[in-house]
Amino acid sequence: MGRGETGWVVLTMCTHRKAVEPVFSLQAHTLVPGEAASVACQWRERLAACPASKRIPASILYRGRGFAIAEQAGRELEATLYVVSAGLGLVSATEAIPPYSLTVSPGSVDSVARVVTSRPFSPADWWDSLNETSARPRPIVKLARSQPKALLLLSISEPYTRLIQRDMLSLSEAQLSRVRLIGPRPSAALPPPLQSICMPYDERLDGPDSPLRGTRSDFAQRALAHFVENVLEKRPNGSADHHAHRVRSSLAQLRPPPTVARPRLNDQELLAWIRRHWAEEQGHSSRLLRRLRDVAGFACEQSRFAALCHQISQHLKA
């Protein structure tokens, strides 16, 4: 699929899973606690100090099924791929970046929410501080300005939407009309300007008729793949309303997944379960989580599960 009349830019999320272990100083739990601005300054100084020899292209560093799906969608569109990173800001997939571990997810040991002392923690405040310390405020706005005719496809989850929400709301009406937000569910509490560009993907993408079933962690990228094949292929230059209508029409043919009431385990029980199956799934948290849910039949939030997997991984390395 070529660029059409306008061309496309794909933005997706960074991933917890990376090809290279993070530099010790670039793990968020090693930062000195403080206000968002001071923590962001510390972090930027550490990023700048990372030598070029340790940096690798973002497209190689980020791993996982979701990122691979976004890459494939970008290739099909002949689009430029960018990554929305809680640790780096907005980076091109071709940019050489340092191996790091920083997230805004509260369940991770490297959540910056544990380091920033302001309460309640605001992902949008962190995004502003992170980009202002690098003299690159409002990177989404700058990208839209640099691509005045391109359609921007944002394949991100609801938490990442909150991260860049203030940046997106700084877009002009004309710029917003060239954005498609793909990932947050229709029930997400988004401001009206973002609701109008949010494509209405829901749990039917995970139902028994869907060819794109997966986990919550790769929902946004699977929705992107569906959008590229079933919407852009038919109406590449359609408005947000037309695109949303096509999404609804396509999903109308799919059944939602059956409702399953799964029992829950406490942390100690989960840790024991993860250890038992660690080698079989080669320590991949996404595979382990799918096995926990689909085979063992237990419920667990993704961020909590990832934090427990990280705890075991660190113990095995010690």
Tell me the per-residue pLDDT of 300-314, one tens digit each, with 9 for 90 and over. Answer: 988 889 889 988 988
**pLDDT of 4 higher than 60:** no
Dihedrals φ, ψ of 255, to 5°? -90, 145
- Which residue reads 């094949």 in tokens? 229
The predicted model gives 243-262 an average pLDDT of 91
Contact present, 59 and 94 (Cβ < 8 Å): yes
Across 59-63, 157-161, 177-181, 255-259, least confident range? 255-259
pTM, whole model, 2 decimals? 0.82
Residue 16 in 3-state DSSP? Answer: coil
Q: How confident is the model at residue 3 (pLDDT cuts 50, 70, 90)?
A: very low
pLDDT tens, position by position, 19-54: 999 999 999 999 999 999 999 999 999 999 999 999
Question: What is the rounded average pLDDT for all residues in the chain?
Answer: 92
DSSP-assigned beta bridge partners for residue 264: 299
Of residues 23, 49, 12, the one with CA closest to residue 156: 12
Does residue 201 surpass a pLDDT of 90?
yes
